[in-house]
Amino acid sequence: MPIKKICCIGAGYVGGPTSTVIALKCPDIQVWVTDLNAERIRMWNSKDLPIFEPGLGDIVNACRGRNLFFSTEVEKHVADADLIFISVNTPTKAYGVGKGKAPDMTSIESAARMIGRVAMGKKIVVEKSTVPVKAAESIKRILQAAENKNAQFEVLSNPEFLAEGSAVQNLFHPDRVLIGADQTTDGCCAARLLAEIYEAWVPASVILTVNTWSSELAKLYANAMLAQRISSVNAASELCEVTGADVSEVAKAVGMDSRIGSKFLEASIGFGGSCFQKDILSLVYLYEHYGLQNGAEYWRQIIVMNEYQRSRFCRIIVSAMFNTVARKQITIFGFAFKQNTGDTRESSSITVGRYLLEEGARVNIYDPEVLEHVIISDLTTDSTLQETDQGLGMNSLEVKLRDRVTVCHNAYKAAAGSHAIVICTEWDLFKALDYEEIYTSMQKPAFIFDGKMLLNHAALKAIGFEVHCIGKRIQN
Ligand SMILES: NC(=O)C1=CN([C@@H]2O[C@H](COP(=O)(O)OP(=O)(O)OC[C@H]3O[C@@H](n4cnc5c(N)ncnc54)[C@H](O)[C@@H]3O)[C@@H](O)[C@H]2O)C=CC1
Ligand SMILES: O=C(O)[C@H]1O[C@H](OP(=O)(O)OP(=O)(O)OC[C@H]2O[C@@H](n3ccc(=O)[nH]c3=O)[C@H](O)[C@@H]2O)[C@H](O)[C@@H](O)[C@@H]1O
């Protein structure tokens, strides 16, 4: 029986776009995207979608109300769907055993328990969230333990590889679609039904069916290896700065080797986003769980390098500005963790912003997509800032921090009167700004710290800026 109705649990950065593209490409399938978060569902049903993703709005408009629906009635749509995607969040655990390392599986477990309770008939349950190996086994056990005589379950793994900011393109043209299934007749049959959905637009040659554990692990390793490339090039950046090499040139030369490839070799202030760090920590936790300390240490170093790169960049800023930024105005261009998204999870901008606030600076932020309240909350909900604030003679932490953070809606207004600009996100629009005008409006010497190797440094120097960047020594 072909799939007629899909219910996706979790209307986030993965559930929303993935379900929307399936609805577009499979007009005969009804796709219900469900979430407990009523505000999120309200926004999916409005013209202001809860996430910014290029191209997504048009597809939602084309499908919503036709065969794409957003609802808070999770149980109702789980009950009669043929196929259920579990696309809930799996953040790093913030409490208890495995705190700061293991993925928090609370949402996965509660979704599985609910499916076990309310499902009717044959169900294919697809683990779309990123999970540790053997999670499908746990889901299966939870479903069986429900003793629901009205339902039969097959559990598949189908990890998602989309990147934010290019989600629609990635979903339209995936490098591969990975399906992990039990190597049984029922498992293979369920995998075939899922593959048939993707075959509506993805060539069969890139749909890969493997065993469930390989699928779960492949997702973690894909992210770990992408992050590893960034940490490798960032490790090279420091050596370039002291030796006079240019990390962009080194990366270009290295990446032209077809065995290495040119992508993901851009030096930066470090990778952000909700997944790289979380998934590497999850991998490290797995190694430790199995007593494999060497492997754990090997992968942990990618995060160590990332944190080092961020703090190194912050120190470069303070050191260049005569070893103090207290009471200086610094403008951060970009708050999202990468361009073309409004997502700030684990964004390097947060680290930089907090560091500058701790050093006593006033911080202006300009980002074309991130909402003001998100920026304020990301920057002011850190208890470690308290001590420094008292040092500056301030009495109310939150009020004082807010006093020193200004969210601007225009790059020129943000930069006016500032001592420095810090580029934290690779938004293309920052390249097109009139830096002569900006220079004129700034305090002198006017500094630019390019954390993303985004701008034309020679042109900025010619205007009069003192320029510092990652991976290249600039004579100022
Ligand atoms: N963000 C990304 O680009 C990618 C994320 N992933 C993985 O996909 C998973 C989801 O990530 P995001 O979409 O970014 O998370 P998200 O936080 O944007 O969305 C998750 C949604 O699930 C909802 N939810 C949680 N428990 C629920 C329940 N029991 N019933 C109904 N709704 C529930 C939450 O309210 C939230 O709206 C994670 O495991 C992540 O690692 C994988 C590839 C890319
Ligand atoms: O599991 C996930 O969540 C996803 O994680 C990443 O996607 P994402 O985090 O959305 O974005 P990336 O394009 O990978 O960028 C991550 C971070 O690395 C930084 N980056 C990227 C590339 C590079 O060369 N240098 C670099 O510093 C970006 O600026 C950004 O902060 C992976 O690319 C996706 O394949 C994966 O599905």
Instruction: Transcribe 14-72 into DSSP letters.
Output: THHHHHHHHHHH-TTSEEEEE-S-HHHHHHHTSSS-SS--TTHHHHHHHHBTTTEEEES
Residue 387 confidence (pLDDT) above 50: no
ipTM higher than threshold 0.90: yes
Residue 75 near residue 118 (C-beta atoms within 8 A): yes
Tell me, what's the pLDDT at 389? Answer: 47
User: What ligand 1 atom has the least distance to the C-alpha of 129?
Assistant: 39
Q: Which of 8, 275, 314, 424 is catalytic?
A: 275
Residue 264 confidence (pLDDT) above 80: yes
Residue among 248, 260, 268, 340 whose CB has most ligand 2 atoms within 8 A, to mutate = 268
Q: Which residues contact 274 (CB under 8 A, 6 or more apart)?
A: 13, 91, 343, 345, 346
pLDDT tens by residue, 156-180: 999 999 999 999 999 999 999 999 9
Tell me, what's the pLDDT at 400? Answer: 72
What confidence tier does 382 reach under pLDDT thresholds 50, 70, 90?
low
β-strand partners of 92: 103
Q: What is the mean pLDDT of residues 365-381?
A: 94
State the chain's mean pLDDT as an integer.
95
Q: What is the mean pLDDT of residues 23-27?
A: 98
Report the share of the chain in percent with pLDDT over 90: 94
The verdict on whether residue 334 carries a ligand-binding annotation is: no
Tell me, what amino acid is at 67? N
Tell me, what's the pLDDT at 2? Answer: 87
Residue 174 preceded by cis peptide, ω within 30 = no
pLDDT tens by residue, 293-342: 999 999 999 999 999 999 999 999 999 999 999 999 999 999 999 999 99
User: What secondary structure does DSSP assign to 375-403, as a single string?
Assistant: HHHHHH--GGGHHHHHHTT-S-HHHHHHH
pLDDT tens by residue, 390-430: 444 444 556 678 889 999 999 999 999 999 999 999 999 99
pLDDT tens by residue, 110-133: 999 999 999 999 999 999 999 999
CA 163 to centroid of ligand 2, rounded, Å: 6
Strands 329-333 and 207-211: unpaired
Domain architecture of the chain: domains with CATH: 5-202 (3.40.50.720), 221-303 (1.10.1040.10), 306-469 (3.40.50.720)
pLDDT tens by residue, 60-114: 999 999 999 999 999 999 999 999 999 999 999 999 999 999 999 999 999 999 9
Residue among 8, 20, 35 whose CB has most ligand 1 atoms within 8 A, to mutate = 35
Give the whole-angstrom CA distance, residue 158 versus residue 249.
38
Tell me, what's the pLDDT at 93? Answer: 96
Tell me, what's the pLDDT at 402? Answer: 83
Concerning whether 275 is annotated as a catalytic residue, the answer is yes
Tell me, what's the pLDDT at 399? Answer: 63
